[in-house]
Amino acid sequence: MGTAMNPASTSEARPRKSRRRGRVQLILVFLVAIGPMVLATAMYKLKFWVPESRSYHGELIGNGESRTELGVQTDEKRWQLLVTAPRECDADCQQLVYLARQVQIGLGRDASRASHALTTAQPITGEYAAKLTHEYPQLQRYPLDLKRYQRMAPGIELPQLWIVDPHGNLVLRYGAEVNGKDLLNDLRQLLKLSNIG
């Protein structure tokens, strides 16, 4: 004598299976939506699977440090090519100031999206000050808070050129040996990717 199937038990088994399948689908959707964000955050924080190749030429400043922390007070709302001179503005500093202006001009129709600036710990006097006034009328000049600068950039005593975003965040840093074409390409790429400034 065979045992008869209980219709109630089969009807209960179906909803359990469909509930289980629904849970699995919900977990998969959650993993597909949230998984990449969790993975990207872990890669950034723990520095794994980071590609060795890069498309920029300067030193990336990825810690959210700002121009204010660097010792420069301004409310500039455009991209900025900022030259810092923790000592006097020597030949390397003057070369970077010239390069910053040339790169801004090289942006062509995007030139209005950027500015160039010089910040020094010591006042500029004499012949170079007159030259800046005459030949660099759009150059913004600021005093450099040396204590803040040394806290933010310890050991960097030589002039540097920084790309600063419209929110005042430091993005890339270059030394005096930077190639102007590389710098221009980096800034063009940033402007292309940016919806700000």
Q: Which of 72, 78, 80 is nearest to 173 (CA)?
A: 80
The CATH fold assigned to 59-193 is: Glutaredoxin (3.40.30)
Q: Which of 98, 73, 84 is nearest to 158 (CA)?
A: 84
The edge-to-edge listing of strands for the beta sheet with 170-174 is: 59-60, 170-174, 160-164, 79-85, 114-120, 140-143
Residue 160: exposure state from Cβ atoms within 10 A (0-12, 13-18, ≥19): buried
Cα torsion 164, 170, 175, 179 to 10°: value is -50
Domain boundaries, the chain: 7-50, 59-193
Long-range contacts of 184-188 (CB under 8 A, 24+ apart): 184/103, 184/106, 184/107, 185/57, 186/56, 186/57, 186/58, 187/79, 187/81, 187/103, 187/107, 187/114, 187/163, 188/107, 188/110
CB 191 within 8 A of CB 116: no
Residue 176, strand partner residues:
none
The H-assigned helical ranges of 47-125 are: 67-70, 91-106
> Which pLDDT score is estimated for 44?
65
> Which pLDDT score is estimated for 26?
84
> Which pLDDT score is estimated for 19?
81
CA atoms of 177 and 97, how far apart (whole Å): 13
Going residue by residue through the chain, which has 197 residues, state the pLDDT in tens, using 9 for 90 and above.
555 555 555 556 667 777 888 888 888 888 888 878 887 777 767 766 665 556 788 999 978 899 999 999 999 999 999 999 999 999 999 999 999 999 999 999 999 999 999 999 999 989 999 999 999 999 999 999 999 999 999 999 999 999 999 999 999 999 999 999 999 999 999 999 988 87
| Token pair of 186 as six digits | 């980096």
Q: Which residue has the tokens 């009328």?
A: 137
CA atoms of 53 and 40, how far apart (whole Å): 17
